[in-house]
């Protein structure tokens, strides 16, 4: 590794919440968490996936569409001015009502002046027991992007996106220094035997994105029990070598603020030049859904 000692510290804040039934109460709790992070010096603050409600996708229920909000709406009207007041970059994941009958699992990024720096819509939409998101959300159409902000270039992906190396790679190739993963993931009642393995896999796959791309990864999960899911929290930040710099509780709401030295990105990529050694001439089949034994 290089002996470069230059530092460029960015303080990243994670707001891990336990959500209740009332969206307005959850918004107030989020505001308190954001303020606590800013008081600790955070320059970029991220909320968890669908922060304004409990995780409603455990069931298919058309009444839950009432939780969706337009942009601008309650979240953007409250939190854009807050980002400006605190002079922070703020990542706000929300249930977006794009138009009548068209909804997305989205995230808005506010820059330090309160303006919208970026808008991401979740690309990979799961449909599994207890995670019936295809009932509610259309797939994103904004692509994988690096959003330029006062405190660096950030990529936002959401929960299920975290399992796909292609999304992380494309976001990093766009120039992102951070991969933020707002998340809602936990243990279901029927999978208690494999629960520890699932949590370890969740952490490992995201650490691998940092290693493969030479970036910081930030995962912000919710905590507490909601219906049939015990959300496992464990929000964390890891550096470009995949080392976990800090991790939150698996039981309690928590606000973390973590120092991230951007100089580590170049230092790590010099030592491990994975981007240099990619064989882009040989990856055409990545656009195929599957290859059979004959390569077709």
Residue with tokens 């290859």, as numbered in its chain: 291
Mean pLDDT across 174-192: 91
Give pLDDT tens digits for 144-162. 999 999 999 999 999 999 9
Measured in whole angstroms, the distance separating CA 254 from the mean position of its chain's CA atoms is 16
Give pLDDT tens digits for 68-78. 999 999 999 99
Mean pLDDT across 210-220: 98
Sign of CA dihedral 263, 267, 268, 269: positive
DSSP labels, 48-71: PTTTTS--GGGS--GGGGGG-B-S
Here the tokens at position 123 are 């690309």
Domain 9-275 top-level CATH class: alpha beta
> Nearest 5°: phi and psi at 124?
-100, 120
| Choice among 11, 19, 29, 49 that is catalytic | 49
- Per-residue pLDDT at 294: 73
- Per-residue pLDDT at 196: 86
- Per-residue pLDDT at 1: 40
Tell me which of 5-14, 109-118, 130-139, 171-180 is least confident.
5-14
- Is residue 159 part of the annotated active site? The answer reads yes
Q: Is the pLDDT of residue 2 over 50?
A: no
- Is residue 29 part of the annotated active site? The answer reads no
Q: Is the pLDDT of residue 6 over 70?
A: no
Burial of 149 by CB count in 10 Å (0-12 exposed, 13-18 middle, 19+ buried)?
buried
- Per-residue pLDDT at 3: 43
**β-pair partners for 215:** none
Who's near 210: CB < 8 A, 6+ residues apart?
A: 179, 216, 217, 238, 239, 240, 241, 242
Here the tokens at position 276 are 């240099």
**What's the pTM value of the predicted model, to 2 decimals?**
0.95
- Per-residue pLDDT at 194: 84
| Choice among 97, 122, 153, 207 that is catalytic | 122
pLDDT averaged over the chain?
Answer: 95
Q: Helices 74-86 and 23-39 sit at what angle, rounded to 10 degrees? A: 10
Going by DSSP bridges, is the β-strand pair 131-132/147-149 parallel, antiparallel, or unpaired?
Answer: unpaired
Give yes or no for a cis peptide into 72 (omega within 30° of 0).
yes
Mean pLDDT across 240-265: 97
Q: What single-letter DSSP state applies at residue 228? A: T
3-state helix, strand, coil in the chain (%, to 5): 35, 30, 40
CA distance 86 to 80: 10
What confidence tier does 248 reach under pLDDT thresholds 50, 70, 90?
very high
Who's near 96: CB < 8 A, 6+ residues apart?
A: 68, 69, 70, 71, 103, 104, 105, 106, 121
CA distance 199 to 218: 15
**β-pair partners for 10:** 260
Give pLDDT tens digits for 84-97. 999 999 999 999 99
CA distance 267 to 227: 45
| Choice among 19, 46, 57, 159 that is catalytic | 159
- Is residue 97 part of the annotated active site? The answer reads no
DSSP labels, 244-287: EEEE--SSS-EEEEEEEETHHHHHHHHHS-TTTT--GGG-GGGG
Structural contact between residues 75 and 23, judged by C-beta atoms closer than 8 angstroms? no
- Per-residue pLDDT at 119: 98
- Per-residue pLDDT at 190: 67
Q: Is the pLDDT of residue 4 over 50?
A: no
Q: Is the pLDDT of residue 7 over 80?
A: no
């Amino acid at each position: 590794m290089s002996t470069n000692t230059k530092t460029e510290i960015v303080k990243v804040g994670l707001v891990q919440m336990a959500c209740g039934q009332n969206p307005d109460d959850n918004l107030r709790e989020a505001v308190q968490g954001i303020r606590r992070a800013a008081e600790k010096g955070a320059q970029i603050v991220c909320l968890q996936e669908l922060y304004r409600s409990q995780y409603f996708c455990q069931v298919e229920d058309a009444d839950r569409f009432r939780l969706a909000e337009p942009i601008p709406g309650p979240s953007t009207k409250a939190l854009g001015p807050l980002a400006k007041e605190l002079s922070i970059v703020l990542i706000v994941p929300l249930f977006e009502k794009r138009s009548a009958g068209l909804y997305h699992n989205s995230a808005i990024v506010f820059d330090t002046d309160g303006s919208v720096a970026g808008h991401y819509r979740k690309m990979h939409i799961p449909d599994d027991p207890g995670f019936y998101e295809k009932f509610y959300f259309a797939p994103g159409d904004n692509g994988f992007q690096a959003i330029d902000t006062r405190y660096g270039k950030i990529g936002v992906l959401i929960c299920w996106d975290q399992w796909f190396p292609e999304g992380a790679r494309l976001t990093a190739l766009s120039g992102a220094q951070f991969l933020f993963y707002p998340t809602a993931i936990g243990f279901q009642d029927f999978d208690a035997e494999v629960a520890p393995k699932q949590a370890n896999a969740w952490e490992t796959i995201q650490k691998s994105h940092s290693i493969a791309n030479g970036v910081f990864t930030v995962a912000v999960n919710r905590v507490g029990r909601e219906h049939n899911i015990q959300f496992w929290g464990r929000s964390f930040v890891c550096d470009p070598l995949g080392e976990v710099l800090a991790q939150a509780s698996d039981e309690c709401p928590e606000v973390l603020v973590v120092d991230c030295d951007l100089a580590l990105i170049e230092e790590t990529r010099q030592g491990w030049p994975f981007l240099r050694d990619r064989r882009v001439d040989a990856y055409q089949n990545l656009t195929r859904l599957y290859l059979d034994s004959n390569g077709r």
